[in-house]
Amino acid sequence: MNDQQKNSLLFYLEDFLNNPIVISDGVEHDYCDFDEKRISAIPKIKDSLESFLRGNIALKEFKEKSEIECRKYPYWGFKNFSGQMQLNQYSNNINDAQKERMFKDAITLPIDENEASNKIDSLAEYLSKLKEKTDNPKSIPRVSQYYLLSYFWEIQDYSKWPVYYGATKKMLLHLGFKLDESESYGKEYVEFLRIMKEIQSLYESKNNKKEKYPYWFIEHILWNQFVKPVSQPQNSIALENKVEEKIIISDNAGDWLPDIIKDLNDLALNKDTNWTKKMGVKAEKAFETKLRYAFTLLGYEVTELGQGKGREPDGIALSIGANGGDYAIVYDAKARENGFSIGTGDREIYEYIQKKKEELKRKRVNKIYFVIISSEFSSASNTDAIREIYRRTHVPVALLKVTDLLFIIDAKLQNVEIDHTRLEYLFLDTGLITRETIISTLGLR
């Protein structure tokens, strides 16, 4: 660990201790209270796990029990794509006589780091071979299953085997740790363990105390940095801590964003940028145009509407031929310096939806979602008005901050597994699409 990494980690620590809150399922918890909720839940989850390992229940029943428990005790984020959905795929989609034995061997508690590495690599090799044999490789779980395995290991011994979250990995990579240079998934997990122990020592020396659950403490600190929105994606931002040391912390979004949309947040704030000055357009119009670029980067077939075309939303993004069927995202751009509030605009939204529903039906697109994109939304925006629109149209009205749209694009460009079927889950509900919802839905946890 070099000095810059230490300084960054100490900044994260100080930032967390100033507000030691964990957000889970949209609810804020004091981190100590949250940890105790985990401790209370572990025996209940462990009971089903041990029943499976002893052979008292089969994989199918274990999968079903896990589905119930991860929703009843949502303290690990396991209910989403990277966790329970992977277990569901494993149980439902693999037709191989060895699948139950392989999975049971993999989630049995390792004796040491070498065995943990071998378990991860053995399952990866098994899944790779299954993907090669099938006509539908996406039906088989992803090859890298260190998150799923380490979750079940942590349930059995939380003091020794921390969960290897994708969010934790991303933050450590941003800090310059070379996790992605490991020879295998198993060796990567062992390297992750080494880094966690090093961070634990750093934090204990700084605080002059030992946390009751040190791995969870580190996890909370890194998670809070990961979910923290950024005002404008850029390569890095300079921050200053109390001892006047300059440190550089890479943003958790923006590394993969093309330059053409990097000014999207300024445009959402209705601010002119170098691009608007060069093109001779107003920020509001540029925002609409660049949203077309943004949805195109997500792989949609996009038509820009908006200004000069009568009473129209600003664009339509079509998903054609997705695994889940064709669907359309009708979107409206609201460039506002102080954020957007729906107010009396619900009638306009209703008219947009009704008009586009008829047009899209003629194109045999029956699934429609309406998304409003702005710099920020007032608390009044998530009101009964948009729920009433849904009641009358059966089309969800979602609110999406532009910083979170950029976060989605950044994640999509990095991960080919994020397809239109998975993106569609973001728009199923009415109301604000939070950063936590995005992370959970896209399997970034």
Q: What is the 3-state secondary structure (H, E, C) of 12-74?
A: HHHHHHHCCEEEECCEEEEHHHHHHHHHHHHHHHHHHHHHHHHCCCCHHHHHHHHHHHHHHCC
Give the chain's radius of gyration (CA, Å). Answer: 23
**Number of helices followed by number of strands (H, E) in the chain:** 18, 10
Above pLDDT 70, what percent of the chain? Answer: 90
Nearest to 12 by CA among 163, 174, 209, 255: 174
Pairing of strands 431-432, 27-30: unpaired
| pLDDT surpassing 90 at residue 184 | yes
pLDDT category at 255 given cuts 50, 70, 90 is low
Of 3.20.20.120, 3.40.91.30, 3.40.50.720, 3.40.190.170, which CATH number belongs to 259-441? 3.40.91.30
Contacts of 56 (CB under 8 A, 6+ apart): none
How many other C-beta atoms are found inside a 10 Å radius of the C-beta of residue 209?
Answer: 8
Give the length of the chain: 445
pLDDT in tens, 319-354: 987 554 589 999 999 999 888 887 656 788 888 999
Strands 315-319 and 431-432: unpaired
Where does the pLDDT of residue 309 fall: very low under 50, low under 70, confident under 90, or very high at 90 and above? low
Express each pLDDT in 16-37 by its tens digit: 999 999 987 768 899 999 999 9
Rounded Cα gap, residues 162 and 147, in angstroms: 9
Alpha-carbon gap, residue 295 to 315, rounded angstroms: 10
For 104-258, strand residue ranges (E) read 237-240, 246-249
- For the stretch 47-94, pLDDT in tens is 999 999 999 999 999 999 999 999 999 999 898 888 898 999 999 999
**DSSP state letter for 418:** -
Longest dimension (CA), the chain: 71
Q: What is the pLDDT of residues 130-149, one digit of tens each?
A: 999 988 888 899 999 999 99
Strand order in the sheet with 315-319: 301-304, 315-319, 327-334, 367-374, 397-401, 431-432
pTM: 0.77
Q: Are 234 and 257 in contact (CB under 8 A)?
A: no
Q: What is the pLDDT of residue 366?
A: 87
Alpha carbon 71 to its chain centroid, in Å, reads 17
pLDDT at res. 237: 36
- As a whole number, mean pLDDT of residues 108-112 equals 97
Residue 312 pLDDT level (bands cut at 50, 70, 90): confident
Boundaries of every domain in the chain: 3-249, 259-441
Looking at residue 250, what is its pLDDT? 32
Residue-level pLDDT at 249: 30
Amino acid at 286: A
Is the pLDDT at 240 greater than 50? The verdict is no
Look at residue 310 and tell me whether its pLDDT is greater than 80. Answer: no
